[in-house]
Structures are given as structure tokens and as C-alpha cells.
Amino acid sequence: MLRIAHWTVTAALVAAAGVGSAANAEPKAVTWTGWFSDITCAKGRVETGEIGPNNTVCVKKCLDEGAAAVFISEQAKAMFEVKDYPTVKEDVGHHIELTGVVDEAAKTLSVTSVKRLSEVTNMCGVPKKK
């Protein structure tokens, strides 16, 4: 009998903890600064802690080839797949301030507005032709 009561209390605590973490995973409104990129160019860099813009030409090429668009957030130190922003490619190459709704559990971001802060200097590793 004591075991059943202990299990019931443990199950209740586990269930309550699950409810609490689900509440924290609710989508929330954010205003962040950062850069649009594509998942191919950004993933490895962000995973190693390198938070910054990617090469504009490469990003646009990858987006044209069907790679998912992502936003690299300076505040979250993470990237989020962009939802509901079909003109993302037009803002590639700019440091931006973005307002939107983030779902941290799903790692997605629905864009509400974008403000360009500055243009990003292209960081191509190939020397320019003379």
C-alpha cells in the first residue's frame, strides 16, 4: 500500500513538472537583433557558438536551392527556422531588428516586422579578381 501511495505522489510530481515545462514552451513575442541565413550555412557555426552573419551570396544561393531560412539571434545565441516571411531573401545581407513570435521548443520564429539596421559586408573567402 505504501508503494502505491509513493508511486502516485511521484507520478503527480512528474505530471506537474511536465505541465510547468509545457507552459514555458508556449510561443512568446520577442524583439531581437541578428541576421537571416539559411540552415546549411548557419547550423555548424551556431552550434559552435559563432553568432554572426553568413556570406550573403552563399546564403541566397542556398535559399534558391531550397534550404530552410533561419534567423540567427544575438540575444538567444541560437537560430530559429523562419515561418511566415516569404521575402526573407530581400533582407539577407543586413543586420536587422526583428519582431515576431518564437516557439523555443520547435525552434521556429513567425516574423511580424523587420527593420534593417545596417548592411553586412560580404565575407567571402575567395579573393576578388583584379
Asked if the structure places residue 13 within a domain, the reply is: no
| Alpha carbon of residue 53 to chain centroid | 13
Residue 45 resides in a domain: yes
pLDDT along the chain (130 residues), means of 10: 41 40 71 96 93 94 96 96 94 96 95 95 52
In a domain, 1, yes or no: no
Does some domain include residue 98?
yes
Rounded to 10 degrees, the C-alpha dihedral 123/59/73/26 comes to -170
In a domain, 18, yes or no: no
Give the count of domains, the chain: 1
Domain of 65, in residue numbers: 25-119
Please calculate the CA angle 122-110-52 and round it to the nearest 5 degrees: 25
Backbone angles phi, psi at 110, to 5 degrees: -95, 120
